[in-house]
Amino acid sequence: MKARVTVTLKTGVLDPQGKAIEGALATLGVTGVASVRQGKVFDIELDAADPGRARAALEDAADKLLANTIIENYRVEVLE
Amino acid sequence: MKSAVIVFPGSNRERDVARALQLVSGREPALLWHADTALPAGTDLVVLPGGFSYGDYLRCGAIAAHAPIMEAVRDHVRRGGLVIGICNGFQILCETGLLPGVLLRNSGLRFICRDVHLRIERSDTPFTRGYNAGQVIRVPVAHGEGNYFAHPATIARLEAEGRVLFRYTAPDGALDPRHNVNGATNAIAGVLSEKLNVLGLMPHPENHVDPAVGSTDGRGLFAGLVAHFAAAA
């Protein structure tokens, strides 16, 4: 079973890396970019066959390690 | 004072800390590997040194926070034992939840390696009894992620409970955004746990203990700890 966990910074948390990327895009002549917020994507393969159980395991993983919930939100998607 | 310094893959300040402890306490600290599972019996002080544990993978300190030795460090904290996390050690303590908050990328984006001025906010802790409250010391920082951040309610609680131990200030002790090198909330450079036995700080007092490097301002931290344990014995 394949899954994806996406971790993004919470609204209001300073994202200097996103700001730097935003600046670099402007330098490259990519126009119309209002703002950039960067995050992380984890593609995970699981042995579990039950999507519910897989989701629970991934939420556990995100809470314990993949995300720091003081500053980050996460989204779990079971892909297939 | 019997101390232990934890070495993670990628730590690089453990020898600076060990040298400072040896110099000031007269006793060689135990160096423990991250895969160890116990502290030497009778350990008074545990230090998590600076560096780039696990290459800063995922987030600074995130992987080290779950290393086998950390369970023993948690037990030590539960028993009221003292722990200091310096730089990456501070990041690790935040990731374990032993200290609140998190260290974000410096607001100016750049890695900062230079001396800063710190104001000691209180002297009635084991970590700062070697200083006077309000005293300003000069010690180096060397970090890319030292911008202390926590939920506003957490910050308010830290301030109300006197758990902000060090702040970045001007040389005269005045708060000044120009001297808040990494953009930390309320210029926080070091915080204490609820029971005041765990300290995390970004600067490196262990690098200013020898007159040969031009400043001994960091000595007070170690000397104060030695006095604390001598008084307790």
Separation between Cα atoms, residue B167 and residue B174, nearest integer Å:
10
Range of the domain at B122: 3-232
State the CATH number of the domain containing residue A16: 3.30.1280.10
The predicted model scores a pTM of 0.94
In this structure, what DSSP letter does residue A12 have? T
| pLDDT recorded at residue B162 | 98
Task: Tell me, yes or no, if B112 comes closer than 8 A to chain A by beta carbon.
Answer: no
**Domain total of chain B:** 1
Which residue of A16, A64, A65 is in closest CB contact with B105? A16
Name the DSSP letter for residue A3.
E
Per-chain mean pLDDT for chain B:
97
pLDDT (average), residues B123-140: 97
Q: Is B14 a catalytic residue?
A: no
Task: Domain count for chain A, please give it.
Answer: 1
- Of the pLDDT bands very low, low, confident and very high (cuts 50, 70, 90), residue B108 is confident
Per residue in A5-63, pLDDT (tens digit) is 999 999 988 888 898 899 999 999 999 999 999 999 999 999 878 989 999 999 999 99
State the CATH number of the domain containing residue B9. Answer: 3.40.50.880
B95 flagged as catalytic: no
Specify the pLDDT at position B232: 81
* Section B1-25 average pLDDT: 97
Q: Which domain holds residue A52?
A: 2-78
- In three-state form (DSSP H/G/I as H, E/B as E, the rest C), the secondary structure along chain B is CCEEEEECCCECCHHHHHHHHHHHHCCCCEEEECCCCCCCCCCCEEEECCECHHHHCCCCCCCHHHCCHHHHHHHHHHCCCEEEEECHHHHHHHHHCCCCCEEECCCCCCCEEEEEEEEECCCCCCCCCCCCCCCEEEEEEEECCCEEECCHHHHHHHHHCCCEEEEEECCCCCCCHHHCCCCCHHHEEEEECCCCCEEEECCCHHHCCCHHHCCCCCHHHHHHHHHHHHHHC
Q: How confident is the model at residue B195, as a pLDDT?
A: 97
Asked if ipTM goes beyond 0.90, one says no
Q: Taking every pair of C-alpha atoms in chain B, what is the biggest distance, in angstroms?
A: 46
Are B192 and B199 within 8 A, CB to CB?
A: yes
Q: What integer pLDDT is reported at residue B233 of this predicted model? A: 74
Convert the pLDDT of each residue in B20-70 to its tens digit.
Answer: 999 999 999 999 999 999 999 999 999 999 999 999 999 999 999 999 999
Min Cα–Cα distance to chain B from A29, Å: 22
Band the pLDDT of B143: cuts 50, 70, 90: very high
Option in A19, A20, A68 nearest B102 (CB) = A68
> Taking a C-beta distance cutoff of 8 angstroms, is the pair A20, B144 a contact?
no
Q: Nearest CA to CA, how far is A67 from chain B (Å)?
A: 9
| Nearest chain B CA: its distance from A50 CA (Å) | 28
Find, among B217, B215, B188, B222, the residue nearest to B202 by Cα: B188
Residue B150: closest C-alpha in chain A: A70
